[in-house]
Amino acid sequence: MRTDRILFAGGLAAATAATGCHRAPKTADRPLNIVYIMTDDHTAQMMSCYDRRYASTPHLDRLAAEGVRFTNSFVANSLSGPSRACMLTGKHSHRNGYTDNTTCPAFDGSQQTFPKLLQEAGYETALVGKWHLGSLPTGFDYWEIVPGQGDYYNPDFIRQSGDTVRNAGYLTRIVTDKSIEWLEHGRDRSKPFCLLVHHKALHRNWMADTCHLALYEDRTFELPATFFDDYAGRPAAAAQEMSIASDHDMDPIYDLKMWRPDRESRLKATYEAFVGRMDPAQRAAWDRFYGPIVDEFYRRNPQGRERAEWKFTRYMRDYLKTLRSLDDEVGRLTDYLRDAGLLENTLVVYTSDQGFYMGEHGWFDKRFMYEESMRTPLVMRLPEGFDRRGDIDEMVQNIDYAPTFLELAGVPVPDDIQGRSLVPLLRGERPDEWREALYYHFYEYPAEHMVKRHYGVRTDRWKLIRFYDDIDWWELYDLENDPEELHNLYGKPEYADRQREMTEELIRLQRQYADTLALRLNGSAAAAK
Ligand code: SGN
Ligand code: CA
């Protein structure tokens, strides 16, 4: 690997020569900037450029309309910390060491990450918002992060000085304010920059800004066809604790704000801590809005199917209200970049740390390798010189961001990075040997939501999953004929050849990525079937 510093007077062109694979865009005399916006739990079903049923996200859609939309974008491990570690390192979880949010105390910040490599190459690097990796950020000239999951209202921020400071206001706005402040006044303008704007929104429990509380109250939403799934043939799906219908899993008080002094729940105290952060005006607006809904809920006290549907409606409305701030704030940041004359020379990326269930299979949350949570939205507004527009259909994964940013910056991609640079796709090339299969491995069990450990492989049409640990269970899906993944074909004689091919592909990827734990686990009798 080449680690020497690249000088930016003609740096991009120099790097082109060094790597031999970088056709310099029009702006070759100016290195490109990167603004990497990532949200939390924002799923493609709730982004109108992907799905028009529920949400309207004009500012996000505009990024896609002015750039590209990835139609097959996936994560390697559908959970916040692990997903962030994959994107920082360009490596699968078993290689970056951050496999889950509960047993991993801290991301090892001494390892190679793309911000560090950009910084070494002369970039100014910054991070604002959610980090969620236990340790403090490394590789950034400037950072300001929320502790853990952060708070929507009057959030604390940890600063580089080590101080924790409370900021008045609503988090999604504050993250944008701080980002713009750094772009305007904080950075060294003689250098290209890479800014990570990482929002807490739309993480549970979907607390909207007071100015958006009244929105969408007239909206109802068609239930997903699989809302009342019976999980036949899928014991791990049956064992999860992420059901909207269950008051244990989706708590009416905590998740849906149905707080009343005489009602108790597992998460009531957590909710009280959240609203306890509000100032009197915020709290008054909050209570004014939710008060009548709370009264009506306990008066009617819906049960069974009616209760599940009522919960789904409230969940969807709260999620949409919270999304409204996010879309507006992405618009505000993009406008700033345009007004400051930065947009033409900047790659703007928008993605989420994973997808999310909006009632499919009856669920909220993520974790599973099933489509809704393995997928993640990904759009990019491209800098001048990249003429690709519209959809990119190749399968891409969050381990690809690091090599993409490095190649765009003219920094050689180290050999141990497992992702692939998306730059050829952004240039409109159609590499014949693009990857044909994706690898996935989820580890957080036993833990909240009780999704069992599993790994698997996905091609454009087929998906093979193996759940392990306190279960040994395989699933095979035909995504073309069964996009909702309801019919487990594993073990059916007519699919024996397909099953063998997919098992071979799984082992091939585990070898390629050196997932030694999984390879060892494959040694069980089940794998040999
Ligand atoms: C919290 C949430 C969970 C969520 C995890 C992981 N519970 O623990 O619902 O699955 O985060 O989310 S809560 O009671 O704290 O809201 S992640 O996106 O950060 O991985
Ligand atoms: Ca998340």
Per-residue model confidence as pLDDT tens digits over 249-267:
999 999 999 999 999 999 9
Give me the pLDDT at residue 423, please.
Answer: 97
Nearest ligand 1 atom, CA 205: 16
* Ranges 29-43, 438-452, 454-468: which has the least confidence: 29-43
Q: Determine the atom of ligand 1 nearest the C-alpha atom of 365.
A: 10
Distance of CA 390 to the CA centre of its chain: 21
Tell me if 204 CB under 6 Å of ligand 1.
yes
Which residue, of 295, 316, 337, is where some domain finishes?
Answer: 316
Atom 10 of ligand 1 has which residue's CA nearest to it?
365
Over residues 109-151, the pLDDT tens digits come to 999 999 999 999 999 999 999 999 999 999 999 999 999 999 9
Beta-ladder partners of 434? none
If asked whether residues 413 and 481 sit together in one domain, one would say no
The pLDDT tens digits of the residues spanning 165-215 come to 999 999 999 999 999 999 999 999 999 999 999 999 999 999 999 999 999
Residues 419, 452: one domain? no
Residue 490 pLDDT level (bands cut at 50, 70, 90): very high
Rounded to whole angstroms, how far apart are CA atoms 3 and 496?
Answer: 48
Whether ligand 1 lies within 6 angstroms of the CB of 237 is answered as no
Q: Are residues 21 and 157 in the same domain?
A: yes
120 and 36, same structural domain? Answer: yes
Whether residue 245 is found in the same domain as residue 147: no
Asked whether residue 344 falls in the same domain as residue 246, the answer is no
First to last CA, the chain: 41
CA of 502 to the centre of ligand 1 (A): 32
Is 50 exceeded by the pLDDT of residue 353?
A: yes
Give the ligand 1 atom nearest the CA of 83. Answer: 20
Pairing assessment for the beta strands 378-381 and 346-352 based on DSSP bridges: antiparallel
List Cβ neighbours of 441 (8 Å cut-off, separation of 6 or more): 76, 77, 92, 93, 94, 99, 454, 455, 515, 518
Q: Are residues 68 and 105 in the same domain?
A: yes
- 383 with 507, same domain: the answer is no
- 516 phi-psi bin (left φ>0, alpha ψ -120 to 50, beta other): alpha
> Does residue 79's CB lie within 6 angstroms of at least one atom of ligand 1?
yes
Please name which ligand lies nearest the alpha carbon of 355. 2
The CATH number linked to 469 is 3.30.1120.10
> Residue type at 145?
I
444: Cβ–Cβ under 8 A, 6 or more apart, which residues?
79, 82, 99, 100, 101, 102, 103, 367, 451, 453
**What is the number of other CB atoms lying within 10 angstroms of the CB of residue 418?**
22
DSSP string over 135-167: SPP-S-SEEEEESTT--SBS-EEEETTS-EEE-
Per-residue pLDDT, 30: 74
pLDDT of residue 404: 98
Pocket flag, ligand 1, residue 101 (CB < 6 Å): yes
Domain hosting residue 261, numbered range: 234-316
Kindly give the distance from the C-alpha atom of residue 173 to the centroid of ligand 1, in angstroms, as a whole number: 22
Percent of the chain with pLDDT over 90: 92
Site to probe by mutation for ligand 1, drawn from 84, 145, 203 as the one with most ligand atoms within 8 Å of Cβ, is 203
The two structure tokens encoding residue 207: 């607390």
Determine the residue type at 179. S
User: What is the rounded CA–CA span in Å between residue 331 and residue 62?
Assistant: 9
Question: Whose atoms come closest to the Cα of 39: which ligand?
Answer: 2
**Ligand 2 geometric centre to CA of 41 (Å):** 4
Q: Is residue 214 part of a domain?
A: no
- Predicted model pTM: 0.94
> How many of the other CB atoms lie within 10 Å of CB of 181?
12
CA of 204 to the centre of ligand 1 (A): 7
Please report the pLDDT score of residue 16 as a whole number. Answer: 35
What is the model's pLDDT at position 431? 87
Q: Mean pLDDT score of the chain, rounded to an integer? A: 93
**pLDDT tens track for 52-91:** 999 999 999 999 999 999 999 999 999 999 999 999 999 9
Q: Is 373 in the pocket of ligand 1 (CB under 6 A)?
A: no
pLDDT beyond 80 at 517: yes
Phi, psi of 243 (to 5 degrees): -90, 130
**Nearest residue CA, atom 4 of ligand 1?**
365
Cα separation of 176 and 153, whole Å? 15
Among positive and negative, which fits the CA dihedral 290, 292, 294, 297? negative
Residues 359-402 pLDDT 10s: 999 999 999 999 999 999 999 999 999 999 999 999 999 999 99
Domains in the chain, number: 3
Looking up tokens 């604002």, which residue turns up? 128
pLDDT at 20 over 50: no
Query: What is the C-alpha R_g of the chain?
Result: 23
Regarding whether 444 and 308 lie in a shared domain, the answer is no
pLDDT (tens digit, 9 = 90+) per residue, 395-445?
999 999 999 999 999 999 999 999 999 999 999 998 889 999 999 999 999
Query: Which amino acid residue places its CA nearest to atom 16 of ligand 1?
Result: 204
Find out whether 347 and 383 touch, Cβ atoms under 8 Å. yes
* Confidence class for position 15, pLDDT limits 50, 70, 90: very low
